[in-house]
């Protein structure tokens, strides 16, 4: 790794939401300044870790400090990511954002944005599970705690990062709501607590008796990791015999689309999902059967009998 951007750390401290914060034994001045620049701007811990990781990979690729690298090196690295590594567009967008921040904010280079172009984002529609497929995944969960966290994500539309950081005192059984604290965009929001989910959570509480976190990891003082939930969803999907690509976020997508198909107003769904823009929520209109299948195909209007070619 480039000598100007490295550190050796103990992962010991955490934020109030369980994110690991490195207690550094040795941090380069450049890395430390970038951490401070992100901290004063209140960047989320995940964003900070992603940016530091991407800048570290960039420095390691050239074996130099980013201070010694310029626009041509960045261009060479972008070609390397796209053509040789063939990393996803999403990963390349994060790398561009991290490098723009490093050079524009921390290193104060005035050429940053024009000379670090970002890739055009692919606009792919997510895969949607039917209610029956969701049921099959829930029933195929590897363990009861996994069944409960899957049900929580589907029943509330929580992101996996929100579900794993759920605490008992976030659950308000009197008002039948769950408070999600400082979610994406540093915003709190409330989601509904259905009677069935409340009953399931109470059963889980009696059986597991979790401590600080509703869904603790192997270390009871730390929440279950998002990666562990992802692995469990993949395992459940395989056990259920699904051929669709399924991730924890599939539960959130299914929640939104199934609410739309049930006639829920899209603005209410926007609030429940915590979307800043209605346009983000509106993409689910293109996935709901009530929208896509609401019209009659012109093929069905033709007086054309279906003939079996074998007959």
List of domains in the chain: 7-115 (1.10.150.130), 131-292 (1.10.443.10)
In the sheet where 177-180 sits, what is the strand order?
171-172, 177-180, 189-192
* 75, pLDDT greater than 80: yes
- Structure confidence by residue, pLDDT tens digits, 260-270: 999 999 999 99
The pLDDT of 88-106, averaged and rounded, is: 95
User: Residue 90's beta-bridge partner residues?
Assistant: none
Q: Which residues touch 184 (CB under 8 Å, ≥6 apart)?
A: 44, 159, 161, 274
Alpha-helical segments (H) within the chain: 29-40, 45-62, 71-79, 89-101, 112-115, 131-139, 144-156, 160-164, 195-208, 226-239, 248-261, 266-273, 278-282, 289-292, 298-301
CA distance 8 to 24: 6
CA distance 33 to 71: 21
- Structure confidence by residue, pLDDT tens digits, 26-49: 789 999 999 999 999 999 888 999
The pLDDT of 67-82, averaged and rounded, is: 95
Residue 117 token pair: 């172009």
Residue entry with tokens 């994500």: 153
DSSP 8-state symbol, 225: P
What's the pLDDT score for residue 91?
A: 93
Q: How confident is the model at residue 6 (pLDDT cuts 50, 70, 90)?
A: low
Nearest to 212 by CA among 43, 12, 14: 14
H helix or E strand, kind and range, residue 192:
strand 189-192
- Structure confidence by residue, pLDDT tens digits, 161-187: 999 999 999 999 999 999 998 777 778
- Structure confidence by residue, pLDDT tens digits, 7-32: 433 333 444 444 444 444 578 999 99
What's the pLDDT score for residue 25?
A: 53
- Residues 237 and 247 sit within 8 Å (Cβ to Cβ): no
Nearest to 258 by CA among 127, 129, 126, 123: 129
Active-site residue list: 159, 184, 249, 252, 275, 284
């Amino acid at each position: 790794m480039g000598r100007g951007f490295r550190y050796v750390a103990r992962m010991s401290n955490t934020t109030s939401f369980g994110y690991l914060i490195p207690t550094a034994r040795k941090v380069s001045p450049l890395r430390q300044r970038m951490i401070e620049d992100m901290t004063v701007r209140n960047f989320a811990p995940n964003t900070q870790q992603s940016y530091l990781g991407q800048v570290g990979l960039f420095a390691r690729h050239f074996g130099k400090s980013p201070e010694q690298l310029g626009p041509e090196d960045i261009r060479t690295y972008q070609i390397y990511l796209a053509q040789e590594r063939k990393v996803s567009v999403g990963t390349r967008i994060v790398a561009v954002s991290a490098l723009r921040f490093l050079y524009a904010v921390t290193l104060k280079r005035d050429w940053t944005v024009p000379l670090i172009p970002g890739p055009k984002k692919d606009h792919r529609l997510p895969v949607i599970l039917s209610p029956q497929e969701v049921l099959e995944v829930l029933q195929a969960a590897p363990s009861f705690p996994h069944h409960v966290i899957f049900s929580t994500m589907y029943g509330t539309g929580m992101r996996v990062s929100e579900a794993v950081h759920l605490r008992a005192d976030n659950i308000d059984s009197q008002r039948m709501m769950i408070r999600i604290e400082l979610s994406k965009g540093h915003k709190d929001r409330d989601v509904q607590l259905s009677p069935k989910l409340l009953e399931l959570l109470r059963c889980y509480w009696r059986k597991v008796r979790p401590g600080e976190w509703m869904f603790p990891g192997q270390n009871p003082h730390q929440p279950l990791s998002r990666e562990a939930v992802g692995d469990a969803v993949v395992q459940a999907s395989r056990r259920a015999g699904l051929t669709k690509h399924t991730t924890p976020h599939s539960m959130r997508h299914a929640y939104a689309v199934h609410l739309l198909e049930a006639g829920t107003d899209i603005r209410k769904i926007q609030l429940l999902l915590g979307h800043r823009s209605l346009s983000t929520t509106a993409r689910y209109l293109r996935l709901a059967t009530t929208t896509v299948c609401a019209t009659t195909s012109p093929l069905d209007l033709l007086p054309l009998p279906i003939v079996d070619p074998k007959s």
